[in-house]
Structure 1
Amino acid sequence: MQTGQLRKSAGQGSLASKKAVALSVRLNTGSAEPRVDSRALAQLFGNHHRNVMVLIQKHAEQFKKFGHLLFETQVGERKQGGGKAERYARLNEDQAIYLLTLAKNNDRVVPLKAELVAAFRMVRDRASVRATQYLPLYHSVHDAVEALIHRARECGSTTPDAIFHGNANRMLNLVLGITSGERENLTVAQQLTLSSLQFIFARAVQGGLAEGDDHRTVTRRAKAACEDYMVGAGHLLLPPSVSVSVLALGSPASQAVR
């Protein structure tokens, strides 16, 4: 399999057929570094996956210069059982870009290269925000909740600690306009907004406790502070469909605190 054949195959088809395929690079972020499936890349730039695999194996030593060359095998599925196993590569950013340099530029490959670079950059940005802002402030929220629980105990509350922590998370999710399972897939803008909300929540709780308020009053003040932020500034970081939701949602579906 020659590089020229890959370039020829990637360039086949009418311009209309090339534009008919919507580009959407999906990265696997479950490992130590984000990777992209060679099958997805083959499909996106209009080539047979077997041709891509031949090319990767032919230039394996070059690919290895950019990191561990990871191959995996997936057993095919058929209604009658069994199926042919398919071997594929999971490429890191540099390897994926190197693969696309071997394909001839055309109306399909050029935007794919740009989207691939943007997809990896987005993953890096999200990881950076998560490590430097979201996680430290997440811990600040729950440190503040622990202080809130201490005040609640002073006021005679017997509500389990887990409910206080869960209510804080649910309230922040609601103000941001997301559900409990969406935090792992937030955009950079959403992560930044959530980080700001966490800071405001923790500061409001600390301020209310310092003024001697009971735990219910502190909770209401913290929620109001977060909503005020979203109405005043936070919504500017989010798409309109998300930012308008805070006023329409009302009170969070929290468990009762006594």
Structure 2
Amino acid sequence: MPRSSIPAELALIGIGAGDPSWVTLEAVAALQSLDVLFVVLKEDELDDLVEARRVVVERHRDKPLRTVELRDPPRPWRTASDYNDAVARWREQRLAQWSSAVASELSDGEVGGFLVWGDPGLFESTLAIVQELIRAAARPLTLRVIPGISCVHALTARFQIPLNRQGRAVQIAPARLLREGIPPGLDDVVVMLDGRQTFAHIHPGGLDIYWGAYLGTDDEILISGDLAEVAERIQGTRAEAISRKGWMFDTYLLRRRLD
């Protein structure tokens, strides 16, 4: 069958939380199948993040790969008064840019890919935007999603703890939802990318924290213990790491101690 009669495919490839060895065999096969790689460059992305992505491609692909760079729109919700409206407008800008690139750079019968940190289905907007792109496209496009090792699972593996406790719920939440502390009825909450260090501003009584930064990289940092005792240490360590590297990827689990 000629390639022109086969719909183009988009593959969202989860590449894990940082260690190139965390790329699954399915992800390796997907990387090998790509005709074009769409690389999203965030406005403040630094050289070591670009290098980490390059290492993944070079380690797991044995032939050259055509690359299309997409410069991410600015993220206005950091200062916008209406957070939800700002996020919606940013997604619309992303959708327009990606749709144009896919239409012009990906031919029928070809496979285009996006590398997604961690897992495409967790704390990620890529999947939702690509689904909108496919619905609005002028030609048929198919989608494949390849799961990856998320920072959440990397965190619990590093500390050798289960994510959930028997009979207990786990919530994965943005830090802004924890300003008043862990909601009643919850004992375990995972937070990613807490730029305001919310953990240090809630009542620490009865809480343990398992905190990890740069998981799966040579710069990995792990701190755990009674929140009241280690919160200040985490803040200091975090500040020093940002000063040294210029960026921070961190994840933590807050766990209520049970009597």
Higher relative contact order (CA 8 A, sep 6+): 2
More helix, by proportion: 1
Which category describes the TM-score, using the shorter chain as reference length? under 0.3
| Greater strand proportion | 2
| Larger Rg, first or second structure (1 or 2) | 1
